Amino acid sequence: MKKLAKLITGMMVVVIGIYLFLVWQNNKEATYPSEAEIRTSFEKSIGWLQANRTEILASTNSMLWWMIKESADLTNDPRLVEIYVKYKENILDKHPRNVWRPIFFSNSYVNIDLLEIIQFPDYNLHFIYGASCSRSLEKEEVIQRQLKPNFCDDHHPISPACVTHQMMGMRFMQRHDCGDQIMVKEVIAALQDKIETQLVWDPRIVDVYLQRVMMLLDSGAEELVKPIWIKSVLDAQLNDGGWGGSETLFPVGSNKYLSFTSHIFGIRKEESDFHASAQGLLIMSMLLAK
């Protein structure tokens, strides 16, 4: 039993040591990436979009397409404008009652029937409310509880992306002037602090890491973003120009790796996906625009 206790203690010391080393690496002093480095990353990410155009246009994930639109608006890049316009023609123009239209068009009105969207995740309902300012949706408890700074602690304490999702909802409310704007500003400030803390203590360069950096930049808190975090996002870009949702650790065979994921560990291939790549692209677009 004593040997077992020593073995367990030794393993815990090693794990804690590795974790503290990763935290140190994730927060160490670094030179802010140059504009040339950021632009190179931006160009590579557009290359990934173009190379995967057919698969991307098959995606109906409205939030990812909103990120493409934001990137196009920020940079005025004709390649981004063209691919967004193609999505708009295929989806938005053909479905005028689409409940996601208000996130793309500020003055768009869509009749929102809660019964038709009640099965959506709560954060999606928050996005839709924030963009549409729907009075009927505003009254729902599922919306009201997301307007409190401690929502994630109370309702999704182990969800890695809850705080960033809540921030997205609040930012849509801010953009579209929905609700009490003093409250919105206060909640955004509280969420910025939470996201900064998450970035300090969670060193895994995974999908949610990109999302945290993205939301600090999007919400106007660039001063909270450490240069090393931008460098980590740049370093996480894969050779094909996209980003993946996981961080590879070591191979386990069949082109798969033991990897850090948004849910701690998993077995994954090292490959880019639209979800992470849209976020990486928007980060680079915001940095170039600033």
The per-residue pLDDT for 6 is 73
Residue 23 lies in a domain: no
The total of other beta-carbon atoms located within 10 Å of residue 112's CB is 18
Residue 88 lies in a domain: yes
pLDDT exceeds cutoff 80 at 3? no
Residue 80 lies in a domain: yes
The per-residue pLDDT for 263 is 82
pLDDT: which is higher, 69 or 116 = 69
Going by C-alpha positions, the residue among 123, 88, 124, 122 that lies closest to residue 108 is: 88
Residue 7 lies in a domain: no
How large is the average pLDDT for residues 190-213?
98
| Angle 186-161-261 from CA coordinates, rounded to 5° | 150
The total of other beta-carbon atoms located within 10 Å of residue 213's CB is 25
The per-residue pLDDT for 10 is 76
CA distance 43 to 40: 5
Residue 158 lies in a domain: yes
Q: Poorest-confidence range of 118-132, 145-159, 244-258?
A: 244-258
Alpha carbon of 153 to those of 145, 160, 161, 263: distances in Å? 11, 11, 12, 17
The total of other beta-carbon atoms located within 10 Å of residue 287's CB is 24
* 8 A C-beta contact, residue 243 and residue 51: no
Sort 264 into a burial class: Cβ within 10 Å, 0-12 / 13-18 / 19+. Answer: exposed
Q: For residue 179, what are the domain limits? A: 33-289
Residue 68 lies in a domain: yes
> What phi, psi does 34 have (nearest 5°)?
-75, 165
Q: What are the residue ranges of helices labelled H in the chain? A: 2-27, 35-51, 53-57, 62-75, 78-87, 101-104, 114-117, 122-132, 135-138, 141-144, 151-155, 162-175, 181-201, 207-218, 227-236, 274-289
pLDDT exceeds cutoff 80 at 2? no
Residue 73 lies in a domain: yes
The per-residue pLDDT for 154 is 97
Share of the chain above pLDDT 90, in %: 80
pTM of the model: 0.95
The per-residue pLDDT for 282 is 98
Label residue 108 by pLDDT band (50, 70, 90).
confident
Residue 27 lies in a domain: no
Which pLDDT tens digit goes with each residue over 68-89?
Answer: 999 999 999 999 999 999 999 9
The per-residue pLDDT for 8 is 77
pLDDT exceeds cutoff 80 at 271? yes
Which pLDDT tens digit goes with each residue over 21-55?
Answer: 999 999 999 999 999 999 999 999 999 999 999 99
Number of structural domains (the chain) is 1
